[in-house]
Amino acid sequence: MNPSSDADARNAAGPDHEQVRPATKQRRRDLPDDANLREAWQRNATDWLAWARAPMHDSYWRFHRDQFLTLLPEPGALTVDVGAGEGRLTRELVRRGHRVVAVDASPTLALAARDADAATTIVVADAAALPLRQNVADLAVAFMSLQDIDDLHGAVRQVARVLEPGGRLCAAIVHPLNSSGQFEDRPDGRFIIDGAYLRPRRYSDDLRRDGMAMRFVSAHRPLEMYVDALGDAGLLIERLREPAMPDEALRSIRDRRWQRLPLFLHIRAIRG
């Protein structure tokens, strides 16, 4: 699946997102409550392909992928990658022995994922209407996608439906604290929430770095909304992690602020 702090999360640090050199960030723009996230990601799919596949361009390559993978159980019968995008995590899961069905709502990104891995099943579908049978998977992953999905509760219900009893969902999102505010523009700046953390909203971030530009269109949702979506779907939280940027990923003094506050939130939940 955001300027200032959230842009740093995408970047600085994916979606998913990281930074080798500081990105030029434009001011965050709030969008109408009915802004369509699915359509926005399809519009920006070509830019995302270039951004996501540039070596070491974002946090996925520098540290975030490896942090997230420690949350996952061993490969089982079937793993569903929800919001797989252009497929970089899908390909990593396959390399690690998972049998994967990948789902994304963007036809452009799904086609790119197929072109990169013709042997893996990759389908175009809304996360709130997964084209899979009930109880078919023992693992679902949603890496940096839930904040970019229009119907959060519908998507989580669908994940619970396709998971067998005892199956798990492992998710990474932009940390809701991160998407609610931003650091002052100096290395030791304070983190400031100008608006309301508790008010869900949709917004865009425009980033430019190393000759590439990307517009991220997402939803800020307070933590309570994610927890309620999981609980209402019958998924119980087993692990909740707020990983700091590791020392080896630091590229500047400014990066150390992401050792004070989390860029991302990782959740592992089990279907009862």
Long-range contacts of 112-116 (CB under 8 A, 24+ apart): 112/45, 112/49, 112/86, 112/87, 113/84, 113/85, 113/86, 113/87, 114/87, 116/86, 116/87, 116/91
Do 176 and 147 touch, CB atoms closer than 8 A? no
Residue range 21-78, pLDDT digits in tens: 454 455 688 999 999 999 999 999 999 999 999 988 899 999 999 999 999 999 999 9
Q: Tell which CATH classification among 3.30.300.20, 3.40.50.410, 3.40.50.150, 2.30.42.10 matches the domain 4-271.
A: 3.40.50.150
Contact 207, 23 (CB under 8 A): yes
| pLDDT for 197 | 95
Proportion of the chain above pLDDT 70, given as a percent: 90
Mean pLDDT of the region 133-159: 98
What is the predicted pLDDT for the residue at 253? 77
The helix or strand, by DSSP H or E, that contains position 49, with its residue range, turns out to be helix 45-53
Closest residue by Cα to residue 175 from 251, 240, 86: 240
Q: Which pTM was predicted?
A: 0.89
The answer to whether the CB of 2 falls within 8 A of the CB of 177 is no
Higher pLDDT, 4 or 249: 249
